[in-house]
Amino acid sequence: MKLSAALLCALVAVQAAVLLAAAPSAQAGELQVGYYGKKCKGLENVVKWHVIRALKANRRTGAALIRLLFHDCFVRGCDGSVLLDASYDNPHPEKVAPVNIGLAAFDLLEEIKAAVEDRCPGVVSCSDLLIYAARDASSILSNGHVHFDVPAGRLDGFVSKAEEAQAELPDSADDVQKLIANFARKNFTVEELVILSGAHSIGQGHCSSFAGRLSEPADQITPAYRELLKYKCPQGSNPPVDNNVRDEDYDVVARYMPGFTSRVRKIPDFLDNSYYHNNLAKIVTFHSDWTLLTHKEAFGHVKEYAENGTLWDEDFADSLVKLSKLPMPAGSKGEIRKKCSVINHRLY
C-alpha cells in the first residue's frame, strides 16, 4: 500500500510527538546559587578547568561563549536551545538562523558535558553549563574584573526554531528605537542595552553583518575606519572581522589609521570598556553600536562607561546574571540532556 506524502509527514510528526512525550521531562524550579553543591560536587571547578584550557589555546573561544549565552537566553529563555543540531524532526534549529552566523564553542561545551556526565550522570543541564562557562570566560578575558555567582537549576528545552531566533534576536543593522523595543520585551532597560552592547569589545563579526557600514557617511563612521573595513571585506567574500579595532593586525591599522597604532593590543579579546571609547570615536563595526549615540539616554550611558571602566565591569556582571535568569516560556518542560546537541529521545 502506498502512502501519500501528506500522510507520511503526519505519521512522522505523530511519532516525534510520542517519543517526546515518552521522554522524562519536568518544569524548571527556582534558580539557586550553589544548586549543584551536593548534587555534583566540584562541578564549577571542572567547567573552569576546561574553559581555561580552551582559552589558553584560543582566546577567541571566550568571546564565543559569551555570545552563545546571549543568543541562547534571548530566545525562549536560557534553555540550551541554541545548542541543538539540525535533525530529521527539526531541520532548522536556532543555530542555523542567519542572525546566528559565526556562533562557535559548541565542541567545547560537548567536551565539558562529557566530563560532567562521567562525574555526575544525568544531573547537570547543558543550559547551566553554558552559563558557568560564559561566566568563567568573562572573568578570564577581563582579568578577573567581571565575575558573578551563577544561579543554577535550569532544564534543557525541547524546542529550537531558526525562525524564532531570527525574529527575537537584535540585528546588527537595527536602529536604536528598534533595539530599545526589543530589549524592553525581555524587561531590559536602555541602560542595560548599552551595558550588554559593551561585549562588542571582544569577538568577531562577519562582513555580512555590517555591510551597510561600508557606505555610511562620515558623521556615522570615521572614514579611515570605513576604508579599513572595506579592505577586510573584499567584494564577494564574507570573512570574520575583529569587533574591536584594537585587536586588528598592526600593519593593517598602520596603513589605514596610523594615528591609532599605539592602541593596538598584542593580545586580543580583552573584555573592558574600550568599546565605549571606540563608539564615541565612531570606530565601531555595527550600525547597532553607532546608533546608540543618537538616543539621549543611551548616549549618556556610553559616555558614562567610557569614563568609568570599573562601573561597567560591575554592571556588566549584573546584566549577565539578569540575562541568565530569563525563563523558558510559561508551561514549558525540559530535561537534562545527555549530549548538548541533541534531545535525549534521539539518542535511542
Active site residues: 71
CB contact set of 163 (below 8 Å; sequence gap of 6+): 92, 97
Q: What is the DSSP string of 324-346?
A: HTPPPPTT--EE--SBTTB-GGG
* 200 assigned to a ligand binding site: yes
CB count within 10 Å of CB 187 equals: 10
Selection from 248, 252, 244 nearest residue 277 by Cα: 244
136 is in an annotated binding site: no
What is the Cα–Cα distance from 40 to 292, expressed in whole angstroms? 43
Determine which helix (DSSP H) or strand (DSSP E) holds 263, and give its type and residue range.
none
Q: Please indicate if the annotation marks 79 as binding a ligand.
A: yes
345 annotated binding-site participant: no
CA distance 16 to 26: 18
Contacts of 347 (CB under 8 A, 6+ apart): 338, 339
Give the C-alpha separation, 287 to 216, whole Å.
9
**Residue 49, amino acid:** W
Q: Is 156 annotated as a binding residue?
A: no
Could you give the CA distance from residue 317 to residue 321 in angstroms, rounded to a whole number? 6
Residue 274 labelled as part of a binding site:
no
Are 289 and 200 contacting, i.e. CB atoms less than 8 angstroms apart? yes
Whether residue 242 is annotated as binding a ligand: the answer is no
Q: Is 77 annotated as belonging to a binding site? A: yes
Residue 112 CA to residue 166 CA, distance in Å, equals 28
Name every residue whose Cβ is closer than 8 Å to that of residue 345 and which is 6 or more positions away in sequence: 19, 20, 22, 23
Cα(294)–Cα(329) distance, integer angstroms: 33
Q: Which residues lie closer than 8 Å to 113 by C-beta, 6 or more apart?
A: 124, 126, 129, 337, 339, 340
The number of residues making up the chain comes to 348
Nearest of 125, 68, 127, 143 to residue 102 by alpha carbon: 68
Q: Residues annotated in the binding site for substrate, as ranges?
A: 170
Q: Residues annotated in the binding site for heme b, as ranges?
A: 200
Q: Residues annotated in the binding site, as ranges?
A: 72, 75, 77, 79, 81, 94, 170, 200, 249, 272
Q: Residues annotated in the binding site for Ca(2+), as ranges?
A: 72, 75, 77, 79, 81, 94, 249, 272
